[in-house]
Amino acid sequence: MKAIILAAGMGTRLGKYTENLPKGMLEFNGKALIEWQVLKLREAGVTDISIITGYMGDRIRISDVTYFHNENFATTNMVESLMCAREILNDDVLVAYGDVIYTSKLAQLAVHYDGDIGVAADRSWRNYWIARYGTTEADLESLAIENGKIVELGLPREESSGIDFRYIGLIKFSAMGMRKALEIYDKKKDKNEHWVQSGNEFKQGYMTDLLNEIIIEGEAVSPIVTDGGWMEFDTVEDYEVMLRELENDAIAQGFF
């Protein structure tokens, strides 16, 4: 199978840290975020790894990977970045956000998921949120599961009540699952339709937009359930708080 790391974004919410560096190359405990991902993917048995670059793409230098470049990174979003590698979307594919790191255990869970479309979902997200924000009532979005299938994800929420899982940014497609995703993508592209969930114009689609459209079309999207095992670096606070938490065994256990 293949893995594709989406690392084209500008990372503006990381302020000074991404003025001269793509956020996937932020150093954390001795390695860049993307280097940690590549290491964990290889530990999980994935050797065919591609990186989609964009903002300051020339600063991303990882050995033994394939590169694709989204030259329109400033005016598009994750779905269009993924499509820059469309020529290789013909096999089982693990898609990962470039600003996330995860443990080998979580990488292996995702790699060995045997359904058509699986989304990593953290059942213990509240523990991480307390370390990350000091509260569970910040940066909230939906991830609803019924009868073992995801029925909604990525919608903003004002309070955490009823949010039992957290979307991570790690998605496994079988070859069949990717074909279904591409069919839906092409149908929307032909009509240049806005995305139902976010309302964004077509070229500004998030991965959650695409997943939501897959669900609307009646295709099964299943959770790959984990209890922690991941970190996201989206803001200055994320980065600085987690740098301070490196000595906290409850946070760092299993990553390094």
Write out pLDDT tens, residues 216-256.
999 999 999 999 999 999 999 999 999 988 877 666 677 87
- Please give the structure tokens belonging to residue 172: 């496994």
Q: For the chain, which residues make up each domain, given as ranges?
A: 2-252
What is the share, in percent, of the chain residues with pLDDT greater than 70? 98
Write out pLDDT tens, residues 109-144.
999 999 999 999 999 999 999 989 999 999 999 999
Q: Is the pTM of this model over 0.85?
A: yes
Q: What pLDDT, on a 0 to 100 scale, did the predictor assign at position 250? A: 63
Architecture of domain 2-252: Alpha-Beta Complex (3.90)
Q: What pLDDT, on a 0 to 100 scale, did the predictor assign at position 249? A: 66
pLDDT average, residue stretch 62-83: 97
